[in-house]
């Protein structure tokens, strides 16, 4: 890690400017919709990069990068695919954490400068309910590239949600015995389709590893307990634990 000159590598990207109010931090815009901001550790051995798409809030970027640098978020070759530190807040945003994606997950400098890529954490404002903490590389890449939209500052939470289901009426269902990642709206839709489909079930898991099994057999059952009413949006949101 010691033979990589991060400052020089960033300067070579071209059209790079310093960020006022945060030392050893630079920003550049590779194309009109993107702004990339990178903050280097004081020892020059690691850096933290936040990318913004369409709307760039410099105050948010500064706050995220300062927080990431303070906590050395995801620093080091042996970091987990995701590192998440709670306790972040900025302005009116609802974020409650900052997350770091490892170099293998974010690939921000892949194919352009692999040596730089290997010493950069891809950081972004996040919600604790989006991560379980034991994501493997494949799961982290899926979440980071396809689900979380880390470049969007105004994004709502994308809860950690794994689900499996089978619906006897619609013929819909998941593949195999394990729960796969899905989104809140898919969960809501499939819960609504359980009514009138006896023998069907839906099982889902949140970021804490809590699991619920919902069935309809003429009335609603949750984890085997009869319920007078169908699962409400409020109940689902509470189960997923997002703000």
Task: Summarize pLDDT for 44-85 with one digit per residue, the tens.
Answer: 999 999 999 999 999 999 999 999 999 999 999 999 999 999
Instruction: Residue count of the chain, please give it.
Output: 243
Task: Summarize pLDDT for 165-203 with one digit per residue, the tens.
Answer: 999 999 999 888 899 999 999 999 999 999 999 999 999
Sketch the domain layout of the chain as residue ranges. Answer: 6-147, 162-240
Percent of the chain with pLDDT over 90: 93
Alpha carbon distances (Å) from 157 to 44, 49, 58, 152, 169? 33, 21, 21, 11, 31
Angular region, 134: left φ>0, alpha ψ -120 to 50, beta rest = alpha
The whole model's pTM is what? 0.94
Strand ranges of the sheet holding 201-205, from the earlier edge strand across to the other edge: 180-181, 162-166, 201-205, 211-216, 220-222, 225-227
């Amino acid at each position: 890690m010691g033979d990589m000159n991060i400052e020089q590598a960033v300067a070579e990207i071209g059209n790079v400017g310093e960020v006022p109010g945060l030392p050893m931090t630079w920003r550049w815009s590779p194309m009109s919709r993107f702004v990339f901001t990178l903050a280097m550790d004081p020892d020059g051995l690691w850096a933290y990069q936040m990318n913004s798409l369409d709307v760039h809030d410099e105050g948010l970027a500064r706050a995220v990068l300062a927080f990431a640098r303070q906590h050395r978020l995801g620093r080091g070759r042996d970091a987990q695919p995701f590192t998440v530190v709670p306790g972040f807040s900025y302005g009116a945003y609802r974020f409650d954490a900052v997350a770091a994606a490892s170099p293998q997950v974010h690939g921000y400098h892949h194919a352009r400068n692999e040596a730089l890529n290997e010493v950069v954490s891809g950081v972004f404002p996040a919600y604790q309910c989006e991560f379980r903490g034991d994501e493997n590389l494949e799961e982290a890449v899926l979440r980071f590239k396809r689900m979380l939209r880390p470049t969007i500052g105004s994004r709502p939470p994308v809860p950690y949600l794994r689900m499996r289901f089978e619906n006897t009426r619609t013929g819909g269902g998941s593949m195999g015995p394990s729960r796969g990642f899905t989104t809140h709206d898919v969960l809501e839709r499939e819960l609504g389709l359980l009514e009138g489909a006896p023998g069907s079930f839906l099982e889902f898991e949140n970021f804490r590893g809590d699991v619920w099994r919902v069935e309809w057999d003429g009335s609603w059952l949750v984890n085997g307990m009869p319920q007078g009413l169908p699962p409400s949006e409020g109940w689902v949101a509470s189960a997923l634990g997002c703000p």
